[in-house]
Amino acid sequence: MTAPRGLGTLVAMIVFTRFLGRIDARVVIAAGFCSHRDFPLADDRIRSSDGTALGRLVWVIQGLARGSCYVPLATIAFGTLASQFRNEGTAVFNLLRNVGSSVGISVVETLFTRNTQIMHATLAEHARPTARCCARRCHRRSRRTRSCSPGRRPQCSGRDDRLPTTSS
């Protein structure tokens, strides 16, 4: 899964390094950001339709998008920097890039966990232990064990029919 993206990133870094003087870096960065926005949606659609060659192509394009963002951004960042400050500039640039990645991962993980809990709560509020399927199962069980009088609807324990609950 990561090999096609890595190949795309490698190709983009080589290509955009050679052609950056002829192409405006801002246009390349904007195209890379748009690709980052659009191609994960295509990746989801392709995975559901089981197209492996097309999926690999989408992964290569995602790698191209990643490479098309990084090289022009580094060129713009260091293009106006005096040569005596390049060591410190490289350190600050990579520090900010790593911190930004960490913050982005943390935000995405927080939103994922929050939305998972919201969906779990939504499902749990609609699950009732006395639902029809549960009552039928309990009635079948009670007929086998004869613990229920004929014509009387059994009470379900709900132990195995409920969604597990978590405390917040």
pLDDT confidence band for 119 (50 / 70 / 90): very high
Rounded CA separation 67/18 (Å): 13
Reduce the secondary structure of the chain to three states and give it as a string.
Answer: CHHHHHHHHHHHHHHHHHHCCCCCHHHHHHHHHHHHHHHHHHHHHHHHHCCHHHHHHHHHHHHHHHHHHHHHHHHHHHHCCCHHHHHHHHHHHHHHHHHHHHHHHHHHHHHHHHHHHHHHHHHHHHCCCCCHHHHHHHHHHHHHHCCCCCCCCCCCCCCCCCCCCCCC
Q: Is 153 exposed, middle or buried (0-12, 13-18, 19+ CB in 10 A)?
A: exposed
Q: What is the mean pLDDT of residues 140-168?
A: 50
Lowest mean pLDDT among 6-15, 41-50, 85-94, 153-162: 153-162
Q: Is the model's pLDDT at 3 over the cut of 90?
A: no
Q: Is the model's pLDDT at 19 over the cut of 50?
A: yes
Delimit the domains of the chain by residue range: 1-82, 115-151
At 114 the pLDDT is: 95
Q: Is the model's pLDDT at 22 over the cut of 80?
A: yes
At 137 the pLDDT is: 55
Q: Is the model's pLDDT at 53 over the cut of 80?
A: no
At 162 the pLDDT is: 47
At 165 the pLDDT is: 53
At 110 the pLDDT is: 96
Rounded CA separation 67/108 (Å): 22
Entry pTM:
0.55
Mean pLDDT of the chain: 77
